[in-house]
């Protein structure tokens, strides 16, 4: 059911650019995004590169079996550690596609780097020469938001916070949650009537670390994107997103209501 949003939106976006140039305004998070090591390059044909290649091939083949996996490859000093996480609502087949895309993007965006992480629409892929598996890391979170704002920001912020707090408790402390939670609550606005939110942690960290990661992500989203109709926090150890449409059920962003929101570009 889930489609790559970047692909499925290409045609509407091209039309929008042609017809209404100011619709650029509406553009949202368009992955990939990355954090690369700086400096720190591995040499061509080195042991590190060989281990890296095997690691990524191993991760990629696991992606058709499971939505989360960590592993390492190689010996001693040149051992490479890797991990991927697909959002839990994504099928194994789409997870595999996403990791294959991420493994191409990570090479293109962080060529020869000894550590890197890339976030795609449905997944994140990370590797390093240091063993990061099982270690919470909340540094360098990236936030992405939609430039369109809600009409009642104060009420919205409250609902976003409560909703994310509720979901975080489930993801972090409910052993049946798989460290993943989604939920919808009513929120009436000029352009929508519901709020849909998702949180997920890497399954290598503990429940209490998951909670720490999501609390930081909530802080980031409330501090930086609380007026926005949709936002996501990209973190090494967890992930958070909210929208006014059911993205985790495979829905895509609705066409903007030109009567209510279109004043700026008509």
Of all residues in the chain, what percent are helix, strand and coil, respectively (each to 5)? Answer: 40, 25, 35
Mutual angle of helices 47-62 and 92-109, in 10-degree steps: 160
- In this structure, what token pair is assigned to residue 152? 């009642």
Q: Least CB distance from residue 15 to ligand NAG, whole Å?
A: 20
Nearer to ligand NAG by Cβ, of 9 and 36: the residue is 36
165 binds ligand NAG (CB under 6 A): yes
Cβ–Cβ under 8 Å, residues 71 and 59:
yes
- Is residue 251 involved in binding ligand NAG (CB under 6 A)? no
**By C-beta, is 14 or 185 nearer to ligand NAG?**
185
| Residue with smaller CB distance to ligand NAG, 6 or 54 | 54
Of 109, 166, 203, 252, the one binding ligand NAG by CB under 6 A? 166
Sheet of strand 123-128, all strands in order from the earlier edge strand to the far edge: 33-36, 115-119, 123-128, 80-86, 68-73
Which residues touch 44 (CB under 8 Å, ≥6 apart)?
A: 112
Span 29-48, contacts to ligand NAG by CB under 6 A: 41, 44-45
Is position 162 an interface residue for ligand NAG (rule: CB under 6 A)?
Answer: yes
CA distance 178 to 74: 29
- Residue-wise DSSP of 33-58: EEEE-SS-BPPTT-HHHHHHHHHHHH
Question: Is residue 75 near ligand NAG by the rule CB under 6 A?
Answer: yes
Site for ligand NAG in 115-154 (CB under 6 A): 115, 128, 135, 137, 139, 147-149
Is residue 248 part of the contact set for ligand NAG (CB under 6 A)? no
Tokens 């194994």 sit on residue: 92
Instruction: Write out the residues near ligand NAG by the rule CB under 6 A.
Output: 41, 44-45, 51, 54, 57-58, 61-62, 65-66, 69, 74-75, 111-112, 115, 128, 135, 137, 139, 147-149, 159, 161-163, 165-166, 183, 185, 191, 219-220, 222-224, 227, 257, 259-260
């Amino acid at each position: 059911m889930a489609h790559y949003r970047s692909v499925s939106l290409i045609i509407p976006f091209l039309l929008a650019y042609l017809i209404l140039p100011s619709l650029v305004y509406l553009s949202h998070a368009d992955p990939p995004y990355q954090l690369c090591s700086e400096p720190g390059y591995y040499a061509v044909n080195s042991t590190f590169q060989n281990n890296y290649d095997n690691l990524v091939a191993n991760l990629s083949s696991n992606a058709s079996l499971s939505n989360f996996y960590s592993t390492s490859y190689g010996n001693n000093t040149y051992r490479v550690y890797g991990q991927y996480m697909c959002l839990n609502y994504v099928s194994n087949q789409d997870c595999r596609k996403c990791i294959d895309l991420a493994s191409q993007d990570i090479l293109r965006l962080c060529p020869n780097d000894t550590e890197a992480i890339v976030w795609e629409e449905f997944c994140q892929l990370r590797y390093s020469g240091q063993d990061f598996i099982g270690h919470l890391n909340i540094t360098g979170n990236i936030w992405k938001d939609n430039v369109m704002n809600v009409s009642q920001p104060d009420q919205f912020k409250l609902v976003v916070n409560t909703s994310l707090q509720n979901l975080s408790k489930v993801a972090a402390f409910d052993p049946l949650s798989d460290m993943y939670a989604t939920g919808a609550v009513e929120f009436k606005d000029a352009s929508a009537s519901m709020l849909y939110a998702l949180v997920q942690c890497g399954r290598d960290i503990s429940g209490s670390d998951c909670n720490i990661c999501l609390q930081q992500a909530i802080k980031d989203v409330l501090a930086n994107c609380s007026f926005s109709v949709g936002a996501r926090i990209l973190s090494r150890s967890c992930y958070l997103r909210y929208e006014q449409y059911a993205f985790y059920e495979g829905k895509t962003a609705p066409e903007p209501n030109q009567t209510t929101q279109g004043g700026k570009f008509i």
